[in-house]
A and B are shown apart, each in its own frame.
Chain A
């Protein structure tokens, strides 16, 4: 098995590493922030991050340096940074590890970002269930403040950088950046219509950058070792750096694995993940969290980078890979995910609010063996009426399990429906009003 050099998990994989400030400093921690504070121009930092090719690790993959450059430079008044630590995409559990095991790596990335965009206040919006992560981060913030990395007059620059942990309260949608901002403002977490984008009208309608935990954790390394170093890792030019992939499902060795972008799924599943957990062969896998369309064993040689997955009809998303063995019902799998999406639809847009309920009910009917062949057209028609017709990307996400399982395993749906039709034949006579 090829050994890949790790960037983000390197420290924590050292036995005994606890993630304290002292240990983090001993591994070169906060050197990048010191370098920045010695007088690097924000425009140079943005240029470096742009050249590194770093793209957002939350799901959408937007170039980070470009996102930062949208913040108006001469804006009077406050600007904000929000670290998206909501990590609610089913199949994804990497940010939890980054925060609980090496919190200063994230904090240093945030401090540098604040310096670059001119934000004095940053919030870490962490999902409510990650109580331990919030506690670890609070402690780390106190440590960093004491050491002069955070607070007022950071490292003698005269700048103020304060970071606060803000816990969410159990809503998937708050991982969507504008819903996150609404939630942080103390409201129901419903996505905002874009434009305007958070870069100009974000938190409290002020210029705001929202970056994922893993994205921010990469920043110190890019500044320490240079854009060219980072840009050479992985699948340049469009998929640079490493990525932490989360393996779950019917896999022998589930867990978080950091590999360069562009490794194939075959290598990830069979070498790094140790293959299937039983002797049953692979039937399907979800390549990038619950929102990413299902793929089949035919796609095993697809490379894990943004472009290759888009070409294969799916997406790299949040990096959560869920593996399913032969014998798993795809209708059942789609239903389970659909029930999740139905539960989590925020209710703002009618197609998603009503459509998710229709989709769940139709799938449940098929699973109970009470479906009809016409239900298949109904499902696809509903999907078409949801996709692209909602304020946020939730609409595209919720239809993807159904559309993709119907594309690859339509026969499984048909089989359940044939059983239903055999058990309850459709009555040929349709009652007419006069006879009732």
Chain B
């Protein structure tokens, strides 16, 4: 049971909403955080916590693209393909990643390190091409930069090339 050891977190979440069902999306995020994906037992557990039927949880979870219903790799690489990124070369980045990781969109590398998803707009159109790896944004990508990021992730588990609080263009000293 995932939520038994997270009682405080769950109760704090429930206290935010007058109607329990509102806590569904946040609880699904917790399930995904704990297990790497949203499993069926987790959905059943959430249903019980919120006094819903398992199918009410399932119908909701399948509407949203950010919940993985199957286990994925350690790093979920999501590359934007929408028009604004495509204008500045996202297709090349996608192609490079597919070639170098030897997987196509929706697949996971054999060592289960990387899962690639080619996705629609992630709201970072001025700094494309861009990708999101797990929670972090990586922007203004080039092939070399992506290579560096993947090396960092493999070796250190994180990369200093990730974006901080967003501001573009950067302020200049006047």
Q: Does B1 contact A (CB under 8 A)?
A: no
CA of A130 to CA of B135, assembled, Å: 8
Decide if A290 touches B25 in the complex (CB within 8 Å).
Answer: no
The digit string for B56-72, where 1 denotes a CB below 8 A from any CB of A, is 00011001111100000
Q: Does B16 contact A (CB under 8 A)?
A: yes
- Please name all residues of chain A whose beta carbon is closer than 8 Å to the beta carbon of B171 when the two chains form the complex: 12-15
Q: Does A312 contact B (CB under 8 A)?
A: no
* A347 CB to nearest B CB, Å: 9
CA of A428 to CA of B164, assembled, Å: 62
Spot the interface stretch: B98-106, B123-131, B142-150, B152-160: B123-131
Decide if A249 touches B165 in the complex (CB within 8 Å).
Answer: no
Q: Name B21's contact: one of A15, A185, A337 (CB within 8 Å).
A: A185
CA of A184 to CA of B173, assembled, Å: 42
* B76 CB to nearest A CB, Å: 11
Enumerate A44-92 residues with CB–CB distance to B below 8 Å: 78, 87-88, 90-92
Question: A169-B66, A185-B19 are contacts. A91–B169 as well, Cβ < 8 Å?
Answer: no
- Please name all residues of chain A whose beta carbon is closer than 8 Å to the beta carbon of B169 when the two chains form the complex: 253-256
Chain B interface, >50% SS class: loop
Chain A's interface size range is: 35 or more
CA of A356 to CA of B171, assembled, Å: 41
Decide if A255 touches B168 in the complex (CB within 8 Å).
Answer: yes
- Report the 6 A-B pairs with minimum CB-CB distance, sorted nearest first: A169-B64, A186-B24, A186-B21, A170-B65, A170-B66, A254-B126
27 contacts across the A-B interface (CB closer than 8 A): A18-B165, A90-B83, A90-B125, A93-B125, A93-B126, A93-B168, A96-B166, A100-B165, A128-B64, A129-B132, A164-B16, A166-B26, A169-B25, A169-B64, A170-B64, A170-B65, A171-B63, A188-B60, A188-B63, A254-B169, A255-B127, A255-B169, A290-B82, A333-B83, A336-B81, A340-B83, A344-B120
Task: Enumerate chain A interface residues (CB-CB to B < 8 A).
Answer: 12-15, 18-19, 78, 87-88, 90-93, 96-97, 100-101, 121, 127-133, 136, 164, 166-172, 183-189, 204, 246-250, 253-256, 290, 320, 322, 324, 328, 333, 336-337, 339-340, 343-344, 346
